[in-house]
Structure 1
């Protein structure tokens, strides 16, 4: 990963960070790096995520999915970190027919199932606890659909879960192939494990390359933000947040990276949004959202960091010549040229309006590239968490909602459910 922070410096942006402030912040980064390395070495909860590129066994994953590699489609049933990493990796690798059910919207669930060749679909069910209500409810529907279609669901299903719980019991009862959610790794940090790699492995994707990219990124971490793009990004985002850039707009300029922006949003929000702190991540897509959100980013409040992401190398397509005089300037150009011009124009436009922005470049959107990018962003997030002083690897606010929903469904007696029931509506209609 290559990082350009020039447009986030105080000489360009308001808010911005002075070079002197970066030098002072670097001392804190060094201390944070020591803590991160200590956590990794001791395999502490959360910090263990940064060991995944070395710890994950691609051969074990290949062996577990071997009975499913005849599939024409793969359907991942999970939610949040149990699905977003898989979607990000599969899309970046150009894998077609990889679907995700990560929302309990009944119409969408039915539409996906109605359009899948269920007898040729591999089902990948992911839940660490095996009790995630959305995942279990959706899987029951998927299983019922397969049975109704006369498909032996057990022969088409793989489970990725923890050592205990309903999914583990189900896998044991039906002798399903299983993989383990790694210990000590929160779901949103688990992309570089079986949690994120199974769909790609089933469809023949280069999961070894993804892990190699992660290992390369791991070796780039150092005790200085000036030598580590991951730490530099985490430190710059943190510093700008304190100076008023409370929103972080993640804007990839590649369709294959659109799921990455969604993955990043969960990582950044769930990890850092604590104790009244944390940047709010938003998602956009270049060049599409130049025609919508850019108006706000450039002319709205100076409360945003815009993160622009692009590959340095990509496949291209020439723009055909035309007799239309007003389009003559397109002659000899390609869609890649146009997208590059849009990218640089957006970057310059933001800088001209003093809106802080940074540029992230990866060599290309491929296995190594996406593995590297995911790891770098995870390391950036962990570093930012150290600087904020928050519990990066917990999500207590999410757990409140889970308990409330379960109580409303009759799954137990939870005071959070009572708080929902006590709400007094004030309708205007």
Structure 2
């Protein structure tokens, strides 16, 4: 992963080279805290040890029964699904099993998806660390029933990824299901480089060693200076820009296969850093598509954004055919790759010309090693940002409040949070 902060230096809001050099002392102190947390395998910091600690043989063994899969369905929500989806959508080739994630409980969507799947040839990976996540367990019960109705033995098609105790662990033990453990000390949004994110990649046949090697390269490169560590450069610069008013971070990959990565990033950034009135709101865009829908706002709207422009430097290409249409002859001899690179450059220049801060992030390609480096790099950047901001990066109290409220509304006990929902004010306007 490569990071270029040049377009953030003279922007409004912006961060100067001098201020970054002053901030670097704080980065060094934060790095020491991060390293101490990693050495002690403390909660949250343990995620940054995953490249060396993940048991790839256990993952390969657990997915071996699904070698015949034509589709793989992850039943999980948040970090239990987004990491797997990011890797699957970025890496899937035309001959790989199609990957789907059931992470919402919209009944119409669930029904349509299950009706479209070849259930007898679908591997189901149900993921919940606690084994009690209401959306995940509800969807899994529906999937299990759909398989039974289709004459499919669900126990032959199900992999469980969960914690050391709970309903899913008991279910797996009772039915002798293939089982993977969610690592201790790793919040779900930081779990992509563990069994949580890698099982689907394994079923699709991707190179797990290369994913972890890319992550390990980034881990080995962490140092106490933002000028030596791209991940820290990104985390420190976004922190500094947020402190100066850039409270929205637009993640804009210029590769269709990285669109789900922007979703993964949005959870990582929002759930980790949105505490105590602080944080940076992640927004998702896709280059070049959203140059035609959102760039107007970024360039001419409120000055509270930084735009992260992400692209691979190498990708498969396709030539643009010659044409005799008036005004289009200049396209002959160029390629779609040339065009999307020009679009990337135009967006970067457009933002710079209007004084909007942008950060360029580049990876070598959309492949296993580069994705491992990118995912680990953004996790490290997020942890550094949290250290600099003084927030509790690895907790999510607002999310837990919502979970309790939902359980209470469903009759899962006497929950005060549910009463707050029922007692809300209303101002209804009827036609």
- The TM-score bracket by the shorter chain reads over 0.9
Residue aligned with 2:159, SS = strand
Matches within 5 A, 1:167-316: 167-316=168-317
**CA offsets 1:51-72 (integer angstroms, 9 cap, x no match):** 0000012111001111111111
* Local SS of the residue matching 1:191: coil
5 Å-filtered alignment, 1:13-52, equals: 13-52=11-50
SS at match of 1:407: helix
Correspondence 1:7 to 2:7: yes
Shift of 1:424: 3.2
Deviation at 1:324, TM superposition (A): 0.6
- Give the aligned partner of residue 60 of structure 2: 62
Moved over 6 A (4+): none
TM normalised by structure 2 equals 0.98
For 2:381 and 2:117, the matched residues in 1 are separated by: 38
What RMSD over aligned residues (CA atoms) do the two structures have, in Å?
0.7
Structure 2: distance between partners of 1:92 and 1:37: 30
1:206 Cα offset (Å): 1.3
Q: 1:109 matched to which residue of 2? A: 110
Task: Work out which of the residue numbers 64, 73, 76 in structure 1 matches 2:74.
Answer: 76
**Separation in 2 of the partners of 1:325 and 1:423?**
61
Q: Distance in 2 between matches of 1:22 and 1:322?
A: 49
Q: Distance in 1 between matches of 2:395 and 2:67?
A: 35
How does 1:143-182 map onto structure 2 within 5 Å? Answer: 143-182=144-183
Q: Distance in 2 between the 1:182 and 1:93 partners?
A: 24
Partner deviation per Cα, 1:129-179 (whole Å, 9 max, x = no partner): 000000000000000000000000001000000010000000011000000
Q: Deviations over 1:9-54 (max 9, x none)?
A: 1xx2011111111111000000000000000000000000000000
**Displacement of 1:220 after TM fit?**
1.3
Write out aligned runs for 1:345-424 (5 A). 345-424=346-425
- Give the Cα separation in 2 of the matches to 1:398 and 1:143: 27
Q: Partner of 1:339 in structure 2?
A: 340
Q: How far apart are 1:94 and its partner, in Å? A: 2.0
Q: How far apart in 2 are the matches of 1:94 and 1:200?
A: 9
Q: What are the Cα deviations for residues 72-97 of structure 1, in whole angstroms up to 9, with x where unaligned?
A: 11000000000000000111112551
Q: Which runs of 5+ in 1 are unaligned?
A: none
Distance 2:307 2:77 in 1: 27
**Aligned counterparts of 1:308 and 1:234: Cα–Cα separation in 2:** 15
Structure 2: unaligned runs, 5 residues or longer: none
State the 1:325 CA deviation.
2.3
**Partners of 2:92 and 2:204 within 8 A in 1:** no
Count residues in correspondence.
Answer: 427
